[in-house]
Copies of this chain bind each other. A is one copy, B any other.
Amino acid sequence: MKQMLVKTSTHDYPIYIGKSLRFKLNELIKESYTKVLIITDDVVADLYLDDVRNSLEHFPVIEAVVPSGEASKSIKEYYRLQTVALKNHMDRRSLIIALGGGVVGDLAGFVAATFMRGIDYMQMPTTILAHDSSVGGKVAINHELGKNMIGAFYPPKAVVYDIDTIRSLPDHEIRSGFAEIVKEAYIANKPLLEELLHKKLTDISEEELIRYLYEGISVKKKIVEEDEKESHVRKFLNFGHTLAHALEAILGYGTITHGEAVAIGMLFALRVSEHYTDHDLHTERYKKWLDRNGYPCSLYGISHDDIIEKMKLDKKAANEQIQMVLLKAIGKPEIFDFTDETIEKHLQAFAKELNEA
């Protein structure tokens, strides 16, 4: 089992990465809780809910299952979970466990952040992608007008990452997760990037996977420790996300995975970056890597005006200027503000590159 400790303004919390950790929760949970509410989705419930419940024998356990998918990050599901917690007499000394991918982590985390003004919660990510969202305390639900618009900064008490649970993910989920690892590499770990760009995702061993996750999480840990509330360096983690959030919002969550959208967004951000630097950003190698691993690479025929409109709704936007993270070099991210006109020009060139102009 690998382990690291993340410092926050309120408390420090451990991240455990290893095999079969879902059977060891009684050892890993050090505090005494009056009750434990496991929140998971219907797909994960079938696979791991029994294991998790059985390893919590010292606690009264409540379960709540939400439909798998982004649509569960709704105000309706959020309120229903508050009702479950209240009806089962949870109190301020109760614990919530988020067992699942990013959707469950964000949703359950926001329930924990606001139930009785905040109770403890633990992240148990079950996807590669969730290595990112489970660390750093960003929790949220979606509003019809934008992703993650309602939420909080609220760090978990622990992250328990059982590697067994990510073994049998479908290909698009593996792509989704690795896009965020590549992102972390791009903004802060050049050797990792160069190693990854040589890889075919289907050939990665379990040992390698654990190491990549550990290194990706290490990048994230360092950044969120420096800037918990995203006032400066934490914004770098949004490399590739300005376009990605717009695509997801317009296509409807579920058409492509979050990481696949980020992968497209990173290619766009790299192309824009090239206007502001002479450094080699490995863009061509990255493009080949996307191709080799079956990433979709398209703007899906969406009008540029619609994309720009959504980009302005991004939380990073201010004064209706569009903010993007660009690279001055690999490992050297910077934040740039853009007018609509400039973004439009870059989108045109990008569409042309994708043969969609």
A9 cross-chain contacts in B, Cβ below 8 A: 9-10
Q: Say yes or no: A116 contacts B75, CB within 8 Å.
A: no
A145 cross-chain contacts in B, Cβ below 8 A: 83, 86-87
Of chain B, the residue at the smallest CB distance from A113 is B152
Copies of this subunit? 2
A59 cross-chain contacts in B, Cβ below 8 A: none
Q: Which of A48-56, A206-214, A314-322 contacts B (4 or more CB under 8 A)?
A: A314-322
Q: Say yes or no: A149 contacts B118, CB within 8 Å.
A: no
A288 to B: closest C-beta gap in Å = 36
Interface: A34 (CB within 8 A): yes
A316 cross-chain contacts in B, Cβ below 8 A: 92
Q: Say yes or no: A114 contacts B318, CB within 8 Å.
A: no
A121 to B: closest C-beta gap in Å = 14
A 311-331 contacts with B by CB, 8 A: 312-313, 315-320
A229 cross-chain contacts in B, Cβ below 8 A: 117-118
A265 to B: closest C-beta gap in Å = 19
Of chain B, the residue at the smallest CB distance from A146 is B86
Known A-B contacts A82-B149, A86-B143; the reply to A318 vs B117 at CB < 8 A is no
Known A-B contacts A91-B317, A149-B116, A315-B92; the reply to A75 vs B79 at CB < 8 A is yes
Q: Say yes or no: B152 contacts A312, CB within 8 Å.
A: no
A217 to B: closest C-beta gap in Å = 21
A319 cross-chain contacts in B, Cβ below 8 A: 34, 91, 93
Q: Say yes or no: A89 contacts B152, CB within 8 Å.
A: no
Interface: A99 (CB within 8 A): no
Q: Say yes or no: B150 contacts A115, CB within 8 Å.
A: yes
A34 cross-chain contacts in B, Cβ below 8 A: 318-319
Checking B86, B138, B230, B313 against A149 with a beta-carbon cut-off of 8 angstroms, the contacting residue is B86
A 129-161 contacts with B by CB, 8 A: 138, 140, 143-146, 148-153
9 A-B contacts (beta carbon < 8 Å): A82-B143, A82-B149, A82-B150, A83-B144, A86-B149, A92-B316, A114-B150, A117-B229, A118-B153
